[in-house]
Structure 1
Amino acid sequence: MNSQAIDSTADSTHSKQQPSRLDSLYDLVTGDEDARVCKDIPSESCHDQPRNFFAYLLANLLTKVADELASAKLVLPWLIGWLGAPALIVGLLVPIREAGVLVPQLAVAAYIRRLPVRKWVWIIGSLASAIALGLMALAAATTTGALAGWLIVGLLVVFSLARGLCSVSAKDVLGKTVSKARRGNLMGLSAGIAGALTLALGLYLKLLGDGANDDILFVLLLGGAALLFVLAAGVFVLIREQPGATAGGGNALTAALESIGLLRSDALFRHFVLVRTALLSVALAPPFYVLLAQQESGSDLGALGLLIIASGLANSISAPLWGRFSDRSARLVMVAAAALAGLLGILTWALVQFSAPGPTGLGFAALFLVLGIAHAGVRLGRKVYLVDMANSETRASMVAVSNTVIGVAMLAGGLIGLLGDLYGTAFVILTLGIASIAAALSALRLREVSEPD
């Protein structure tokens, strides 16, 4: 009996050692003195918070890298041009990618509210994303011209809808498994590491230059992205999510109408949605910077590599800083990032209008770098602000409503390209820059919701 008791005690002691090592790593990464500090999550999730933190971190990292490999702002436009598809298709990529994620989420959120455990929605979305990108790689390898372009557009719709499943469920799972003051740090870390990996890809493409075998390269990029989504789904399975509230999980249309009512009943949420709509001026700007760069640098893979390098550097430099900052004040992150994007837009317009010959090559890469830093801040700040503003009962509804409104606004915002036809690309950048300044001023008036330690 004594021997059994000793063995049992030893086993118990050993079982406690593993979590303590995980807690120590969690302490190192987050700066916690106590890995059990919990805010705004179920008490049962406290013990699993270190495990959930790292599982979510890795899954989020894998999907961020995959999104860069199949970027609708950089990689897919290059692919469409190389395949000889109509230029119209290039203009459809970003609106479809963004709106496809956002618009359908009212119905998705209603379904999610009927599920006490919601991580499986994210996993299904990740696997569907992998299938869409795998078929996209096949289309790139076997077709050309308009057929290839429209196949890619159709698969991009599927991919975007699948990413919409991930988007609405990810925030809800994060809100249930990671405490409030750690969420910005988590998202900042994943974005920073993903940016560094994207930088490595850009360097590789820059070194390849015109000597690359384009068809094989694009198939590898899209196929690699599909594989990363499969791996991310496997990692997300490891998250231990406690069953949550299921109120409001009835009829999807009824739930959607009730969710829309939040815009009338919640003044802070309404103000946030207006601010986020104004912040689209930052999200809509990158394609126009790319267009200016292409006019000067051509469309070879070396030029694409420079822009990818700039994007990777922006995320690597800015995301960890923005993440720490957002844990203290997500509101001020949005203000600072939008103001930076606005000033950059005005500067870019001035350089094009009054400087001869104007920015070229590395100059455009530098502009894209600063824009990427601003865009990363806007994205991270508004995500953390929404998660901190909501509670476990309202989070899914607020995410769905705000995303749907933004999706519609994104489609309408795509019409700003008409200004480019009338007055030139630089004028569009100036207009978006002024709108970004206005967005910063509006965000400054938001109420503070962050709760730093």
Structure 2
Amino acid sequence: MFEKLYRYLYKEDKQRICTDITEDACQYVPRNFFLQIFSNVFTQLGDTLSNPKTVLTWLMSYVSAPVYLISLIVPLRESGSMVPQVFFAQFIHKRAIRKWLWVIGALLQFVAIASIGVIALYFKGVPAGWLIVAAVILFSLSRSMSSLTSKDITGKTIPKTRRGRMKGYSVSVSGVLVLAAGLFMLYQSRNDATISFYTNIIFFASATWLVAALIYSRIKEFPSEIQDEKDDKEGILSSFALLKTDKHFRDFIVARTLLLCTALSAPFYVVLAQEHVGKEAYLLGLFIIAKGVASIVSSPIWGKYADKSSKNIMAVAVMIASVLGIFIFFTISYFDTLRSAKWIYPVVLFVLGIAHQGVRLGRKTYVIDMATGNERTSYVSVSNSVIGIILLLVGGLSALVSLLSVEGVILLLSILGLAGAYKSYKLPNVEQI
């Protein structure tokens, strides 16, 4: 079944394309292709239903956690899943079979998210806030190992020119499930949402990682090259030396840093919506629906073209986000009627969701295609660790600036995004190397 469907999707009648993978791995491409799609669908659904920018923020507010703790969960979840990757890379390099590291990470993410549901049921105020923060830290560390390992597995099991579309399909299918979840939440918001309603969402989200772990364990993986002890003497410092010695990689890091505007601007759009429309529960459902529809509509297209030129996808996507941000700045500043319209914020988040999917699919495909073997793991770990640190710094600066003007932060991030579009466009096209 996998074989027939794979050939249908890629119109491969006779000889299979197996660029950048071994002959042994080539035999199992269809099976591994769909197993990774299915596992990604479940983890992406879980990510959306436990998103710190929306669901966890709502939940922590509901249990009366202090604002200063609520403000920690976004940078902790995002940076916490990136910064440790350079440490995990040294560990991963010593494992010939690596899929079990992903499975362990998924199981720990299940435990972390499920514990948030339990905490919300039995704790309130400051204790609930700190316990949820601790659970988010556990989740982030586990996610860090799984994220790094998944890119290595994708590079070993899926050929070039097929990786972007695989990610696009998984995001699109998960978008359908997210849309269904958002519609259900919107329907339920007609009644008074209780703590049980929110915790049930969290428990359901946690279960997605359990299912994903079971699916991922079925991937057929062949041994990787194990890093010798002598190659690991300098450890982490040798990995960071890539920033000095590899200009191509350094340029990618600069471009990816400027692309952060799509991730960092999302919470500020939510804040604007709460300021000008209100904090009604239906907004949460609408925002999740907007994200689901954006994924369904855009991900297959982004994925298809990322396999042709992932750097151009990054450039186009961040350009969309930047133009949107500039438009919103002038709308909020000068058009009173429009900024109070209830429909504008779900539409804005829909467009931002399209742009963010393009940035994510583009940069993930790019970093996988620009390297091979253990070099790929080093590229991914160093880039994510550096970006995680920058995310903390830029996120903290944005939080300070937001005290003066929320729309001003969006404008600043949009200007950085324009620079990111130019820098991304100037990168080499790794799909043709």
- TM-score over 0.5 for the pair: yes
Matched, 1:257 2:237: yes
Structure 2: distance between partners of 1:190 and 1:87: 35
**2:164 touches 2:306 (CA, 8 Å); kept in 1?**
yes
Structure 2: distance between partners of 1:369 and 1:289: 11
Paired amino acid for 2:83: V
Partner residue, 1:197: 177
Instruction: Choose which of 369, 374, 389 in structure 2 pairs with 1:408.
Output: 389
Instruction: Choose which of 95, 116, 125 in structure 2 pairs with 1:145.
Output: 125
SS at match of 2:154: helix
Structure 1: distance between partners of 2:146 and 2:233: 21
Matched, 1:421 2:403: yes
Structure 2: distance between partners of 1:219 and 1:353: 38
**1:306 touches 1:362 (CA, 8 Å); kept in 2?**
no
Q: In the TM superposition, what is the alpha-carbon distance from 1:210 to its structure 2 partner?
A: 4.5
Structure 1: distance between partners of 2:276 and 2:59: 19
Q: Structure 1 stretch 339-348 or stretch 224-233: which is displaced more? A: 224-233
Which ranges of structure 1 fall in alignment gaps of 5 or more residues?
A: 1-20
Partner residue, 2:415: 434
Q: In the TM superposition, what is the alpha-carbon distance from 1:81 to its structure 2 partner?
A: 1.2
Alignment map for 1:130-279 (pairs within 5 Å): 130-247=110-227, 254-279=234-259
Structure 2: distance between partners of 1:146 and 1:32: 58
Q: Structure 1 stretch 378-387 or stretch 306-315: which is displaced more? A: 306-315
Q: In the TM superposition, what is the alpha-carbon distance from 1:312 to its structure 2 partner?
A: 0.9
SS at match of 1:181: coil
Partner residue, 1:12: none
**1:249 touches 1:255 (CA, 8 Å); kept in 2?**
no
**2:2 touches 2:34 (CA, 8 Å); kept in 1?**
no
Partner residue, 2:295: 315
**1:326 touches 1:380 (CA, 8 Å); kept in 2?**
yes
Structure 2: distance between partners of 1:252 and 1:223: 41
Paired amino acid for 1:400: S
Partner residue, 2:338: 358
**1:185 touches 1:324 (CA, 8 Å); kept in 2?**
yes
Structure 2: distance between partners of 1:387 and 1:418: 35
Partner residue, 2:278: 298
Alignment map for 1:4-19 (pairs within 5 Å): none
Matched, 1:102 2:77: no
Q: In the TM superposition, what is the alpha-carbon distance from 1:276 to its structure 2 partner?
A: 0.6
Larger Rg: 1
SS at match of 1:450: helix
**1:277 touches 1:406 (CA, 8 Å); kept in 2?**
yes
Identity %: 37
Structure 1 residues 31 and 148: alpha-carbon distance in aligned structure 2, compared to 1, 3 A threshold? farther
Structure 1: distance between partners of 2:239 and 2:263: 25
Alignment map for 1:339-358 (pairs within 5 Å): 339-358=319-338
Q: In the TM superposition, what is the alpha-carbon distance from 1:269 to its structure 2 partner?
A: 0.5
Q: In the TM superposition, what is the alpha-carbon distance from 1:213 to its structure 2 partner?
A: 3.5
**1:112 touches 1:249 (CA, 8 Å); kept in 2?**
no
Paired amino acid for 1:239: I
Partner residue, 1:9: none
**1:327 touches 1:451 (CA, 8 Å); kept in 2?**
no
Alignment map for 1:18-33 (pairs within 5 Å): 21-33=1-13
Q: In the TM superposition, what is the alpha-carbon distance from 1:128 to its structure 2 partner?
A: 0.3
Paired amino acid for 2:206: A
Paired amino acid for 1:427: G
Q: In the TM superposition, what is the alpha-carbon distance from 1:249 to its structure 2 partner?
A: 5.9
SS at match of 1:102: coil
Structure 1: distance between partners of 2:15 and 2:57: 44
Instruction: Choose which of 366, 373, 377 in structure 2 pairs with 1:392.
Output: 373
Which ranges of structure 2 fall in alignment gaps of 5 or more residues?
A: none
Structure 1 residues 290 and 244: alpha-carbon distance in aligned structure 2, compared to 1, 3 A threshold? same
Paired amino acid for 2:369: D
Structure 1 residues 154 and 251: alpha-carbon distance in aligned structure 2, compared to 1, 3 A threshold? farther
Structure 2: distance between partners of 1:431 and 1:228: 36
Q: Structure 1 stretch 33-42 or stretch 168-177: which is displaced more? A: 33-42
Structure 1 residues 249 and 38: alpha-carbon distance in aligned structure 2, compared to 1, 3 A threshold? farther
What is the root-mean-square deviation of aligned Cα atoms in Å? Answer: 1.5
Measured against aligned partners, the alpha-carbon deviations of 1:71-129 in whole angstroms (never above 9, x if no partner) come to 11111111111111111122212111110100111110110000011101100000000
- How many residues are treated as equivalent by the alignment? 431
Paired amino acid for 2:12: D
Paired amino acid for 2:40: N
Q: In the TM superposition, what is the alpha-carbon distance from 1:37 to its structure 2 partner?
A: 2.0
Q: In the TM superposition, what is the alpha-carbon distance from 1:447 to its structure 2 partner?
A: 0.7
Q: TM-score, normalised by structure 1?
A: 0.92
Partner residue, 1:381: 362
